[in-house]
Amino acid sequence: MKFYIVIPAHNEESTIALTLESLAKQTLIPQHIVVVNDNSADNTKAIVENLANQYNFISLVDNNSSNAHLPGSKIINAFNKGLESLDDDYDVICKFDADLIFPEQYLETLAEHFKSDNQLGMAAGFCYIQKNDQWVLEDLTNKDHIRGALKAYRKQCFFDIGKLKPSIGWDTVDEMLASYYNWKRFTDDSLHVKHLKPTGISYSASAKLAQGEALFKLRYGLTLTFITALKMALKKRNLNVLIHYLKGYFKAKSDGLDYLVTEDQGKFIRDLRWKGIFSKFA
């Protein structure tokens, strides 16, 4: 299978070489790896250029974006810049982060999964972080969720979901839309990917507002938004999380922001969420 990989990178001089070397040593070599140098102020560009001279399947694209923190949209806009430089002659398109080390059989194993099930639309392994000199599971989400750092899509699934949405919540809406179009997803717990810069456990108030905005754009509705926000507030033991989620939701509604999904897709997403909630009480 032909794998194309796009890696957005902003100031990743400490990790990007490790990521690219791990991909260059795969038992199944990717056809193309495009690194998008997204306004880096460090040596990211020079490091990638050096590796591109060593490996003919690695290339660099420069992207001049805002330095403002724009959750979701910044990274997907960079991804799209890289995607534009590629043709469509691939079987699997990947959006990977620039701070990962992949096991050598990672792509080959994904290819086996895709080949074994024509309805498999998305697949990935799991991120592991270093704690006390050991690599342990970065346990941030349910195990059936594919982390934004590790996205791999079958081409038709990628097209069906309308590619990736430049908005916070993009790495949830992609899975929901994949389910809407009857695509399966699979996470392989034998694939341990080293995550060199773990995801932060605390988020700013503006990020929480953006999460509320994302729930509005996903057509969650007020009740589901409240339940989701309450769950996160309890998890973080911080009532302000609930308040900021709701503020973000109502601001998006008053501003008349565009939805990320159609009415029918929104209904499907709500039904899916309610089903998940009720299943916990069954």
Is 83 or 133 the better-scoring residue by pLDDT?
83
What phi-psi label fits residue 186: left (phi over 0), alpha (psi between -120 and 50 degrees) or beta?
A: beta
pLDDT grade, residue 122 (50/70/90)? very high
- Within 8 A by CB and 6+ apart from 163, the residues are 80, 83
Handedness of CA 157, 159, 161, 166 (dihedral sign): positive
Handedness of CA 164, 20, 55, 74 (dihedral sign): positive
| pLDDT higher than 50, residue 201 | no
pLDDT tens by residue, 260-271 = 999 999 999 999
Closest CA to 128 of 197, 68, 59, 230: 197
Strands 134-137 and 120-131: antiparallel
CB 175 within 8 A of CB 124: no
Q: DSSP character for 11?
A: S
- 3-195 falls under which CATH superfamily? Spore Coat Polysaccharide Biosynthesis Protein SpsA; Chain A (3.90.550.10)
Range with lowest mean pLDDT among 13-27, 76-90, 266-280: 266-280
pLDDT for res 202: 45
Q: Which amino acid is at 76?
A: I
Compute the average pLDDT of residues 205-228.
91
CB 108 within 8 A of CB 19: no
CB 119 within 8 A of CB 183: yes
Q: Which amino acid is at 24?
A: A
pLDDT for res 95: 98
Closest CA to 213 of 68, 71, 67: 71
On average, the pLDDT of the chain sits at: 92
- The reported pTM is 0.90
Is 88 or 236 the better-scoring residue by pLDDT?
88
| pLDDT higher than 70, residue 40 | yes
Range with lowest mean pLDDT among 5-14, 111-120, 184-193, 206-215: 206-215
Compute the average pLDDT of residues 129-137.
92
Compute the average pLDDT of residues 58-81.
81
- Within 8 A by CB and 6+ apart from 3, the residues are 28, 30, 31, 90, 91, 92, 93, 94, 107, 110, 111, 152
Compute the average pLDDT of residues 143-153.
92
Domain ranges of the chain: 3-195, 205-279
